[in-house]
Copies of this chain bind each other. A is one copy, B any other.
Amino acid sequence: MALSFYYLSGSPFAWRVWLALEYKNIPYELHVLSRDKGELQTPEYRAINPRGRAPAIVHDGFALYESMAILEYLEETFQDQTPSIWPCEPKDRAIARRTIYEMDAYLFPPVRRMVEELLIKPEGLLDASVVETASNVVTSNLEMLATGIKGKFFHGNAPCAVDFCFYPLIAMLGRLKLKNSNYDLLATMPENLKTWKTEVENLPYFSKTLPPHWKTAA
């Protein structure tokens, strides 16, 4: 198979690429890497991504990492393969990219801090003030980002890269209440974001892309 996709369960950056591959009907061979088994650090994988992170792809011998670079490359390389990962109109495409950079710069860091405090740290070591600050930043960013939803999805009635990048962050937030029911940020997010979340979950290929370890654990 021409395209190998290197995936790490639970990585929001790997998940976005998986959704895009499925949406665009690009055939791929899935390689699920295990951090615990050291598979991100083998010489073979570091030849593909010297930073030892996921996702990465190898397409006809060309290795590429960094999820946003991959999303652009997939569209440019498989542009005859409908549908498009990116909005077709240049201004919409610009807003789509802007929105993803905003998610990565302003939403992902506080989401990660909340995950570290609430899901990874041993219980009892939780720093409530860190969680509180992060939670406020997340809430204000969800409100701001929700204003960008222009239809069933961010850019109309078909999903695009923005939806594929945003959903994994929302899903991470949804995991927080597993350990601490005080932090159910999805319950209080804007109504249109709740509707949007359901739309993504109803995509025909969605359940296939759920992180494998979320299915077995939880």
- Identify the A interface with B (CB < 8 A): 50-51, 62, 64-66, 68-70, 72-73, 76-77, 90-91, 93-95, 97-98, 101-102, 105-106, 144
Instruction: Report yes or no: B68 in contact with A101, Cβ–Cβ below 8 A.
Output: yes
B69 and A98: CB pair below 8 A? yes
Chain B residue numbers with a CB within 8 Å of A93 are: 72-73, 76
Q: B98 contacts A66, CB within 8 Å?
A: yes
Query: In whole angstroms, how far apart are the Cα atoms of A94 and B65 in the complex?
Result: 9
Contact across chains for A106 and B69 when beta carbons are under 8 A apart: no
| A interface secondary structure, majority | helix
Question: Complex Cα distance A93/B76, Å?
Answer: 10
Count this chain's copies in the assembly.
2
- Whether A69 pairs with B97 at a CB distance below 8 angstroms is yes
Give the chain B neighbours of A101 by CB distance below 8 A.
66, 68-69
User: A91's closest neighbor in chain B, by CB?
Assistant: B62
Cross-chain contact A106 with B51 (CB below 8 angstroms): yes
The one of B97, B106, B144 in contact with A68, judged by C-beta atoms closer than 8 angstroms, is B97
The minimal Cβ–Cβ distance linking A136 to chain B, given in whole angstroms, is 16
Query: In whole Å, how far is A2's beta carbon from the nearest beta carbon of chain B?
Result: 14
CA distance A144 to B46 in the complex (A): 13
CB of A64 within 8 A of CB of B102, answer no
Residue of B nearest to A72 (CB): B97
Minimal beta-carbon separation of A131 from chain B (angstroms): 22
Q: List 29 A-B contacts (CB under 8 A).
A: A50-B144, A51-B102, A51-B106, A62-B91, A62-B94, A64-B94, A64-B95, A66-B97, A66-B98, A66-B101, A66-B102, A66-B105, A68-B97, A68-B101, A69-B94, A69-B95, A69-B97, A69-B101, A70-B94, A72-B93, A72-B94, A72-B97, A73-B90, A73-B91, A73-B93, A73-B94, A73-B97, A76-B94, A77-B90
Q: A90-B77, A93-B76 are in contact. Are A98 and B50 (CB under 8 A)?
A: no
Q: Which residues of B contact A62 (CB under 8 A)?
A: 91, 94
| Min CB–CB distance A145 → chain B (angstroms) | 11
- Residues of chain B within 8 A (CB-CB) of A98 are 64-66, 69
